[in-house]
Chain A
Amino acid sequence: MTARSLPPSVIATLPGGHYTDENIFALEQTRIFESMWFCVARASDLGKPGAFRTVQVGRESVLVTRARDDSIRAFLNVCRHRGARIRTEESGEVKRAFQCPYHAWTYDLEGKLIAAPNLTKMPDLDRVEYGLVNVAVREWMGYVWVCLADEPPSFEVDVIGEATVRLGDERAIESYDIANLAVGRRIVYDVRANWKLIVENFMECYHCATIHPELTEVLPEFADGYAAQSFVGHGAEFGEEIRGFTVDGSAGVDRIPGVGEEQDRRYYAITIKPQVFVNLVPDHVIWHRMFPLAADRTIVECDWLFLKDVVDAGTDLGPSVELFHRVNEQDFAACERCQPAMSSRAYAQGGVLVPSEHHIGAFHDWVINRLGAGSG
């Protein structure tokens, strides 16, 4: 970055090119998305053996499934024969095996090659070696995380640690019992913006009073522009006359039993780099997973998680879902408004971060560091 002289109250953002350059995006794919733990699916999306999802992680398509022993497995979605994609649909279910549609090489749910035309004539072809390429899998909070690195970094440090640091201690997130909540609603957003614009947006609340009228009504302290994320352990408090985290401040649904008095009537936000955002409120959890597809395109899958009983009873979740759905639409519209300007001459050196956004500078440093890192 070219050094710019800036007045002391502001610091520089990344230059515009970091949001548009395909080469930088390619580096981010290898050094961030293909090197770190990446949250791909809700474990309940894979309800039984043979259920699968295909997801984009960095440059790779990954096939995630549940094996006979109920464990979750993930493979590169590439046939070991001549490279056909094993599955192209986003989700589905196979009865007992994955079969390549080209020459019918057939793999069991653990990825082992179990059948192929003339396979018995090739006894030297090891069925595990020529099975689908496995990638590392972890389950945490009811979500499935994969890591494409040959030697995955510590999940405890990178994922659990990241979530915990923000909230101050590990029990704070445990009290929401996220693993046992049920998906009440899922909305998928196709956002025409670079993934970093979305992260930056999520990290600050300088924009809240301007673009989030409903949210600011529920969380009045957001009007002062200081993001909940800049203070460890701080949860934004509901307004006095607000009865629940809903679009109109009406009462929400049943509170998650583990949520203590100190967490009641508060909103917490966590970023788990590089692609997960979590919001915690007393009666639900909002969990975002980003899938960066191109320098200017990111898919965001957002789940609203509630107590299983609440979902099973067919409770009206509308007012709860609507609040953050509007926030998402408002935020993503703002990101899409920035994206085309990232290649402007006016933004060649980037913009500035005001004091309530200074912590985003740490995110920028982190990205630059990763891009500079060897193969890590």
Chain B
Amino acid sequence: MIPVCPLANLPRGEAHRLDVDPPIAVFHTEDGEIYAVDDTCTHQDASLSDGWLEGCEIECPLHASSFDLRTGRPSSPPAKLPLRTHRVVVSDDTVYVVPSEEPPNLPPGVRAGTV
């Protein structure tokens, strides 16, 4: 379990980029849910924490694929592969993530361990 930030530092509508390898994006939706997915879009090397959060979808800032934060699945092209999702734990007013054990779907040219 990795600490992300105090809950107070992640207001609704905001994102936090966790600088692990590969990086993880943590989102606090307007509805008050907190989700964590891989930060790197599966289409090209773009940071999803720079994208646009709408409901529980994150839209990639580069070519507008949207991903469902609950499943990681893209709902529109050009991205085809899903993002990994990570479990979020909030305890003592701190946000933690439990990184997934699955292999990540990183875009071409991006490999874990090259950060």
Interface residues of A, Cβ cutoff 8 Å to B: 96-97, 99, 104, 106, 114-121
Main secondary structure of the interface of A (DSSP, over half): mixed
What number of B residues sit within 8 Å (CB to CB) of A? 15
Task: Report chain B residues within 8 Å CB of A121.
Answer: 45, 115
Q: Does B13 count as interface, using CB distance less than 8 angstroms? A: no
Question: Is the pair B47, A120 in contact by a Cβ cutoff of 8 Å?
Answer: yes
Task: Report chain B residues within 8 Å CB of A106.
Answer: 61-62
Task: Report chain A residues within 8 Å CB of B51.
Answer: 115
Question: Is the pair B62, A96 in contact by a Cβ cutoff of 8 Å?
Answer: no
Q: Does B50 count as interface, using CB distance less than 8 angstroms? A: yes
Question: Is the pair A117, B62 in contact by a Cβ cutoff of 8 Å?
Answer: yes
Question: Is the pair B46, A115 in contact by a Cβ cutoff of 8 Å?
Answer: yes
Question: Is the pair B62, A115 in contact by a Cβ cutoff of 8 Å?
Answer: yes
Taking the closest CB of chain A, its distance from the CB of B78, in whole angstroms, is 12
Task: Report chain B residues within 8 Å CB of A99.
Answer: 62
Main secondary structure of the interface of B (DSSP, over half): loop
Q: Looking across the interface, which residue of chain A has its beta carbon closest to that of B48? A: A115
- 27 A-B pairs, CB-CB below 8 angstroms? A97-B61, A99-B62, A104-B62, A104-B63, A106-B61, A114-B50, A114-B61, A115-B46, A115-B47, A115-B50, A115-B51, A115-B61, A115-B62, A116-B62, A117-B44, A117-B45, A117-B46, A117-B62, A118-B45, A119-B46, A119-B47, A119-B50, A120-B17, A120-B23, A120-B39, A120-B40, A121-B45
Bound Cα distance A218, B40 (Å): 69
CB contact under 8 A between A120 and B45, given known A96-B52, A115-B50: yes
For the complex of A and B, the 7 pairs showing the least CB-CB separation, nearest first, are A115-B61, A115-B50, A118-B45, A120-B47, A104-B62, A117-B44, A106-B61
Taking the closest CB of chain B, its distance from the CB of A79, in whole angstroms, is 14
Taking the closest CB of chain B, its distance from the CB of A313, in whole angstroms, is 39
Taking the closest CB of chain B, its distance from the CB of A284, in whole angstroms, is 42
Q: Looking across the interface, which residue of chain A has its beta carbon closest to that of B63? A: A104
Bound Cα distance A177, B29 (Å): 44
